[in-house]
Amino acid sequence: MLCADMSDPTDHPLVRVRRGALIAGVCGGLAKWLGWDPTLVRFGYVIVTLLSAGFPGVLIYILLWILMPREPA
């Protein structure tokens, strides 16, 4: 059961953001979907990518860029 101040991620579709996107809007979209701060998601993604020797993180980002639809205008 969710608390009143917590939103369910399934209430919103997982889409890339248009406003506030730094590269493709993937991390911003993930942050919006999870209800987290986009800066923390970006920072965490960079840290995980660096710790995984870079390639897997970059590959996952590119796949998400291709697979995640862009939010409507």
Buried b (16+ CB within 10 A) or exposed e, 15-53: bbbeeebeebbbbbbbbbbeeeebeebbeebeeebeeee
Mean of pLDDT values over 36-51? 93
When the pLDDT of each residue in the chain is averaged and rounded to a whole number, the result is 85
The pLDDT assigned to 1 comes to: 45
